[in-house]
Amino acid sequence: QVQLVESGGGLVQPGGSLRLSCAASGSIFSLNAMGWYRQAPGKQRELVATITSGGRTNYADSVKGRFTISRDNAKNTVYLQMNSLKPEDTAVYYCNARKSYNIVQYYDYWGQGTQVTVSS
């Protein structure tokens, strides 16, 4: 089992910044990737950013140049630095961890989510 706990969400004005943290615990060995997803009311959950165990990153086009995903392996923590926030970034942000068992099988773990609200 893997447990993921997010923190750092809150209310921020447009143009502001927030840093989200996700601490992983439990059976954390061989996690192949971690990332952040978000879900706004009435919309599907969407990928924001991911980082693999090898350090490769991937971002949604909507956040490229504004968000940065990083990790601290010693602390088993992944971060999402969010700059130049826009109202459309408002959503519940979920931490994700993926464990791959073979070429075609994997399992995703999810945190409880943290609310990010960007508003004047």
pLDDT at 79: 97
Q: What is the pLDDT of residues 48-99, one digit of tens each?
A: 999 998 899 999 999 999 999 999 988 889 999 999 999 999 999 999 999 9
Higher pLDDT, 22 or 103: 22
**Is residue 46 a contact partner of residue 60, using CB atoms and an 8 Å limit?**
yes
Instruction: State the pLDDT at residue 64.
Output: 98
Average pLDDT, the chain: 95
Over 90: is that where the pLDDT of 9 sits? Answer: yes
- What pLDDT score does 117 carry? 98
Q: What is the pLDDT of residue 75?
A: 86
pLDDT value of position 29: 78
Neighbouring CB atoms inside 10 A of 94's CB total 21
For 39-83, give the DSSP string: E-TTS--EEEEEEETT--EEE-TTTTTTEEEEEEGGGTEEEEEE-
CA pair distance 89, 72, nearest whole angstrom: 24
Residue 28: the pLDDT is: 81
For the cut 90, the answer to whether the pLDDT of residue 24 exceeds it is: yes
Statement: residue 114 has pLDDT above 90: yes
